[in-house]
Amino acid sequence: MCGIVGYLGDGNVYDILIKGLHRLEYRGYDSAGVALVGNDGKINIFKTKGKVSNLEAFCADKNLESKVGIAHTRWATHGEPSDTNAHPHFSEDGNIAIVHNGTIENYKLLKDALEQHGCKFHSETDTEVLAQLIEYIRVTNNCSLLSAVRQALHQVVGAYAIAVLEKNNPDTIIAARQSSPLVIGIGENEYFLASDASPFVEYTKSCVYLKDGEIAEIRRGEPLKITNLANEEAEIDVTKLEMSISQLEKGGYPHFMLKEIFEQPSTLRDCIRGRVVADGTHININGVNDNKEVFLNAKRIVIVACGTSWHAGLLGKYLLQDMCRIPVVVEYASEFRYSNPVITPDDVVIAISQSGETADTLAAIQIAKKAGAFVFGISNVVGSSIPRETYSGCYIHVGPEIGVASTKAFTGQVMVLTLLSLAIAQLRGTMDEETIAKVGKSILKIPSYVKKVLKLNEQIERLSLIFTYARNFLYLGRGYSYPVALEGALKLKEISYIHAEGYPAAEMKHGPIALIDQEMPTVIIAPQDHLYDKIVSNVQQVKARGGKIVAIVNEGDTVIRNLADHVLEVPEMPECLTPIITSIPLQLLSYYIAINKGKDVDMPRNLAKSVTVE
Ligand code: G6P
């Protein structure tokens, strides 16, 4: 994980880097640091444990003048979060400084070899090894920094996005990537680099996404030059950014998470736009239209994803099986990649990832491609690695998601999976036109229905007060509501640190029922679907054991209303669309419980939004 930023130009280097770090803090916040080449010709490194705000306080009385600098916000992998392990890292002679996002797998081997040559290490990080290795090569081979970086990267096994500064060469930054993201912003007489484009969106819309194995030479007053590890010149593909600055701000909300929950009527509208056409009677997904043969002939669909995206994937299984009558399996990408999976050219593999950068999901894609499967990506971040690595795909178009706990991206993913299933069903003729039109028309109403669900905000805020001190929660659902239960439990765990378990409601009696007592609230997702009567029995089973029940039901429900301690009513929708509607009260419930407990909802402890390590 980790976020890196760099700037070379005439602007205020420190301010640009700090603002950039704040934007990338979602990637990790164990420590933060900057390296600036000062007017005294030295590289000055300032770094502290904790968030970027700690770094700002630490730097308040420092001389920060500079024309070039690099910066880092860390999610610790090698070595505990501490001032010493914080990036940037120096080579021992202080000649070069480096920031790094990724993991150097063979760092121990390299470290032992360097120690034998007399190098002394100060931190426990893999990154310091890279700094020392580059400088060792530069001095031993008497070569340029660029050449030393290239030679060092030949020896490295692992993932990296790096930016390197040299004391004696203050008009240059060398940057490189392998498996971790890196994008270079090209302004007028200035360059930016960052893990994503958010740090420079207000300065320039022109950027270049570095590809795996590429090294960029960023030099003052000179055009950008990119070469690969074999020192061959690479093509420079300049992209225009679509992101806007207002999307990166809180817009009056106390937290990004709350803003993102409330954005869902408009993010879902953006996600649907152009895809539900002809008054709801036709579904138009370019990735399906362009690959009709693939979807007509698919024998099986394999979905790979991690975290919340995996929960969306599980819903994808219900949707695709239901609508397209294709067998579907859903795998955690981290398990899939090491499970010796059986994938054939008849499979379609769907990779789901908000960030488009999750290392395990990217690895799963490579395995699927090697096995000859058609790989389809569902992602949010335009230009990220997963859309580039897959053969076709679909963006969810929900705008940047900054809160570490995913909300609008989850509903966007579920929406895209619903549209994808409908489009494939339309193509394969597995659903009649009338049913497709019924669902299509309901999809067009989703933004206004979500708006209605958000009116539960105050009721949920009050309800949350009752449960602030609960130590365990159980979330139950059946059918389409089962993945919603998993996601509801995950949201609560992530931001309030309360233990919560999601379970298929009928499986409760095979274990979790033993936990039920007055102290443990059970959240039951029970819309009017074909399993409603079944879930009523499960509600009764919890009630009979004195459990406290919060139920998400449809408006006008009377049966569960009489059994549950608290009900939250949402509008009725066709069964396949209920997950989008029922997941929103659960997002709000976890938000308010975490707020009541005084937790940092946007940056929960130990988590990061973009997981670019295994
Ligand atoms: C992290 C985030 C989760 C996210 C998961 C997968 O764990 O904290 O919110 O669901 O990674 O990320 P992706 O970007 O692949 O959806």
Q: How far apart are CA 205 and CA 211, in angstroms?
A: 19
Cβ neighbours of 61 (radius 10 Å):
7
Angle, helix 264-272 to helix 408-428, in steps of 10 degrees: 30
Half-sphere exposure of 141 (CA within 13 A, CB side): 16
At 258 the three-state DSSP class reads helix
CA dist 172 → 37, 192, 441, 447 (Å): 10, 12, 56, 48
Quote the DSSP letter at residue 89: E
**Ligand 1 site-directed mutation target among 354, 365, 385, 602, most atoms within 8 Å of CB:** 354
pLDDT digits (tens, 9 = 90+) for 84-100: 899 999 998 999 999 99
- pTM of the predicted protein model: 0.84
Residues designated catalytic? 2, 609
What confidence score (pLDDT) does residue 28 get?
86
What confidence score (pLDDT) does residue 347 get?
98
- Parts of the chain with a pLDDT under 70: 1, 613
CA 179–ligand 1 middle distance (angstroms): 16
Cβ neighbours of 389 (radius 10 Å):
18
Q: How far apart are CA 253 and CA 257, in angstroms?
A: 9
What confidence score (pLDDT) does residue 41 get?
84
For residue 585, is the peptide bond before it cis, meaning its omega torsion is within 30 degrees of 0?
A: no
Residue nearest to atom 1 of ligand 1 (CA): 609
What confidence score (pLDDT) does residue 514 get?
87
What confidence score (pLDDT) does residue 26 get?
85
At 87 the three-state DSSP class reads coil
- The amino acid at residue 280 is G
Strands 3-8 vs 68-74: parallel, antiparallel or unpaired: antiparallel
Q: How far apart are CA 83 and CA 102, in angstroms?
A: 19
Ligand 1 surroundings by CB, under 6 angstroms? 306-309, 353-355, 358, 361, 404, 406, 607, 609-611
What confidence score (pLDDT) does residue 383 get?
82
CA 79–ligand 1 middle distance (angstroms): 23
What confidence score (pLDDT) does residue 212 get?
92
DSSP E strands in 420-563: the ranges are: 472-477, 499-504, 521-525, 548-554
